[in-house]
Amino acid sequence: MPSPIKIDPAELRDYVRDLFQSRGVSADDAGTIAEVLVWANLRGVDSHGIARVPRYLELFGTGEANAEPKIVVHNEKGALAVVDADRAAGPVALTRAADIAIAQAAQFGVGWVNVRRTVHTGALGYYTNRIAESGLIGMGLVAGMPNMGYEGAAGASVATSPLSIAVPGTGQYPTVVLDMATAVIALGKIAQFKKAGKDLPAGAATTADGVPTTDPALAKIPLPVGGAKGSGMSLMFELLTSVLVGEPILPNFHSGVSGGKKHRQNAAIIAIDPSAAVAVNTFTSDVDATIETIRSLPVAEGYERVILPGQRGAETFADRSRNGIPVPEPLWNELKTAAETYSITSPTVGAR
């Protein structure tokens, strides 16, 4: 296997920004999208990183994503706001939402910001981590198009809607960031099993018709984590996001009305100010003490260490910030082709 192409994160960020700017996205918004996608690569979440650039370009091309959105913020009661994204790309709308949530939390103790009518939110952990970096607790929920099972139902019924929570400590340890889908297994993981010629674990996925399978070639629909628990969470996130902003996804998707299956997502981004509940020093040192307790738990057989949510991502972040971001050659060539059309120079490739 050839050693993968590695790209400097800052150069990659500029490159991706230029690509979006060439499609009519403002410099600011293009920079935000690049920042969120490259952050996912830095954290090792390659499925939500620059691998999405071709799809984003396509969404801008068809107009499903709006390159020049007129984002409107409604805020009738202090601590709850609605960001009408006007089909802005998720990174643009959700970064805005996170910053509004931070400001509201500073004033009211809590900021709850719903985002309506966005497309592909990117890695949800980016926004909760952004809130944690400002010293607040961040939470995020997203609902999207049905691609997961629902306990007792056959076929794609609800979305693999993610939940993310990030909590700041003193800075001695990486920020604790939970960022999880409500499915047992990601679609990307199913593809990895297929490539490796391995069977899926039982109970992880079904065929498109809803028949349980361990054959990764037939597996099209991930099952919800914990059965009714995972599908219940996914449904609740749809109610707390899409339905709360008057944009329910499930009824139109399943009734088969025109446009009901068009890609769209809704989200909620929440910030909580710990200083409204407890002295900040007490809070951050208690967070650290809890992290230390988890790290010191006796290790179970078959494991090397006990880790915190987000710890592996932080380790990958440190490594890739130093050594560059690995990019698969087919993706790299695809990006170069997209760039050449607009005479954008591609960054230097090579070991660093």
Those residues with Cβ within 8 angstroms of residue 238's Cβ, 6 or more apart along the chain or in another chain:
143, 158, 159, 161, 248, 249, 250
Residue 54, φ and ψ in degrees, nearest 5: -55, -40
**Beta strand pairing call for 110-118 and 80-84:** parallel
Least Å distance between CB 198 and a second copy? 18
Q: According to the binding rule CB under 8 A, does residue 195 interact with a second copy?
A: no
For residues 79 and 110, the answer to whether their CB atoms sit within 8 Å is: yes
Q: According to the binding rule CB under 8 A, does residue 73 interact with a second copy?
A: no
Q: According to the binding rule CB under 8 A, does residue 301 interact with a second copy?
A: yes
Least Å distance between CB 94 and a second copy? 16
Please choose, from the candidates 177, 159, 183, 185, the residue with its C-alpha nearest in 3D space to the C-alpha of residue 241: 159
* Distance from the Cα of residue 19 to its chain's centroid: 21
Least Å distance between CB 336 and a second copy? 37
Residues 136-155 touching a second copy, rule: CB under 8 A, are: 137, 149-155
Structure tokens belonging to residue 24 = 């009519």
- Residues 28-47 vs a second copy: string with x where CB under 8 A? --------------------
Residue 114, φ and ψ in degrees, nearest 5: -90, 140
Q: According to the binding rule CB under 8 A, does residue 114 interact with a second copy?
A: yes
Least Å distance between CB 98 and a second copy? 16
Residues 209-238 touching a second copy, rule: CB under 8 A, are: 210-211, 225-226, 228-230, 232-233, 235-236, 238
Of positions 34, 131, 184, 190, contacts a second copy by CB under 8 A: 184
How far, in Å, CA of 55 to CA of 106, rounded? 36
The one segment of 5-13, 27-35, 160-168, 327-335 that binds a second copy by CB under 8 A: 160-168
Name which of 1 and 301 has its Cβ closer to a second copy: 301
Name which of 10 and 294 has its Cβ closer to a second copy: 294
Of positions 246, 321, 323, 337, contacts a second copy by CB under 8 A: 246
Q: According to the binding rule CB under 8 A, does residue 176 interact with a second copy?
A: yes
The one segment of 6-14, 119-127, 163-171, 321-329 that binds a second copy by CB under 8 A: 163-171
For residues 266 and 247, the answer to whether their CB atoms sit within 8 Å is: yes
Of positions 196, 197, 258, 300, contacts a second copy by CB under 8 A: 300
Q: According to the binding rule CB under 8 A, does residue 171 interact with a second copy?
A: no
Residues 257-286 touching a second copy, rule: CB under 8 A, are: 272-274, 276-279, 282-283, 286
- 315 sits in which H/E element: helix 311-323
Name which of 5 and 268 has its Cβ closer to a second copy: 268
Write the DSSP symbol of residue 243: G
Residue with tokens 């709006």: 66
Q: According to the binding rule CB under 8 A, does residue 102 interact with a second copy?
A: no
DSSP 5-60: EEE-HHHHHHHHHHHHHTTT--HHHHHHHHHHHHHHHHTT-GGGTGGGHHHHHHHH
Quickly count: other Cβ atoms within 10 Å of residue 232's Cβ.
16
Structure tokens belonging to residue 222 = 């991930």
Strand partners, 148: 158
Name which of 62 and 172 has its Cβ closer to a second copy: 172
Least Å distance between CB 28 and a second copy? 27
How far, in Å, CA of 123 to CA of 46, rounded? 10
Total residues interacting with a second copy, rule: CB under 8 A: 80
Of positions 298, 330, 343, 352, contacts a second copy by CB under 8 A: 298
Name which of 256 and 330 has its Cβ closer to a second copy: 256
